[in-house]
Structure 1
Amino acid sequence: MIQEIAPQVYHLEYQVKEPAAAGKVFCFREGCVLLTRERRVPLRAQLGDCPIRYRYLFAIDREEYYLGEPLGPVQVPGLEWMPRRVLRGLEPLSQAFAGYTARHLEHWYRDNRFCGRCGGPMEPGMEERKLVCAACGFQVYPRINPAVIVAVHDGDRLLMTRYARRPIPWFVLLAGFIEVGETAEQCVAREVREEVGIQVKHIRYYGSQPWGMSGNLTLAYTAELDGGDRLTVDRTELAEARWFFRDQVPIRKEDRVSITQDMVRAFAAGRF
């Protein structure tokens, strides 16, 4: 999965510092990310005098990563603006994880330039990662959206679905956001009931995954069918829902990063 970068180590301790020449910089603009033609993360030295504001993000082992916020046109020989989706395929895996995490923080910084309470300008905190209103002192911390994903199974069958209004044509597992006052397990049962009209039991925790592209923390569960297996699909959310036998589940071999495919592979291998 995308966060499994061992033996490399992710260091998230907050610092306020300017990048050294060897610091790696993620720049985002209008759905694109700036990379070398070989799809490498550019170094601070390669960006020269471009109009960019730098923010320290984190380190992986001893490599430091920064967010570069363009303050004007950024055009550098050897660097190209590429669709953000290419981040998923960066090599090694630690670079994909770094790109997703950088995107998460870039989105937060971008959407919190002004105070939601009084409208004043927000400034970065000095002792921890937060934004502070210079006028009223209101503080904002990075937003993390809690969500669940569930592998519903019935003996040797796994329930998989396709989205109705997303550019994802392949089959995935049921998922949804946790509502206020709801436990993750209650969310699992509700999402299954709302989207396909069945009941589940024996809801068990499987694992978790940060998904920086959308700012989510996904909590993954398995659950067993409880009662009838007739599916009533919510067509506003799903285009299709289908039971797959263990030897027929669709596995996306090119997907090495998502917890969805980790669970599908686990089911195919008989681990639940």
Structure 2
Amino acid sequence: MSSPINRNITPTQIEHNFVTPVSNLNSDALWLQMSQFAEQTQNQFAEVEASHERMKTLTASMGEIVKTLQEGHAKLRKASEETKKRLTLVFEEKHHRKRDSDFLDQDINKLFYVYHNLKPQPQGHVMGNPYHQEDIKPDAMLVNKPRSPSQCQDGDNKSYSEKEALKHLPEASSWPKFSGTGEYDCIELIGYIHGLLIVVPSIPDYWITARHNKAFEGHASIWYTEVKEIHGRRNWPWWKSQIIQKYSNGTSI
């Protein structure tokens, strides 16, 4: 049997009976959503914190890398500077050696020139060669040489020894004016090269050309070098004929 309907219930009581359960239901759902949101937010904060820690670790690692690179760059720069200094020293040493070698060659040529011109020439000694030690017969160096163009007449020839021929040659200071023709012809040049080729067949070219530079202002030196490059090393008679042909004024030597 159903309970009798309470017809005396007021509208307020009806609203309370229906609204209160709905309000309770809405509060529980909202609390659950808030709890879930709070948990989600906390997880996100945790992830952000973890990311921050990773960034700090990465930053520290990058700092170490940068420091290592800076140290490596400093070492490379120092090594480069040291290498540059060593190369500079090597270049300067090479330059100084070349300069000293040039000075030494000049001094040798000067000494050789002075020795050649100031050393007394004994009779029978090959002219122009300070290294020739063997005495030869005076007749070996006799040449047919006119006394001078003003004294020369047709068929007027006189035999001159090396020492006598030297008297007709100009002083050493006037040699640079030599043009390849003149009263003294090329007697000293021939005697000088002759002595060098006889004593030392493999003598360096600069021993021969060094005197040429002083005697003929480089002309004979250039000529000798060019002929040597074309014909190679030849014996003395061949060279003598070339010298006579190049520098003689036609006098029989």
TM-score of the aligned structures, taking structure 1 as reference length: 0.18
User: Going by fraction, where is strand more abundant, 1 or 2?
Assistant: 1
Higher helix share: 2
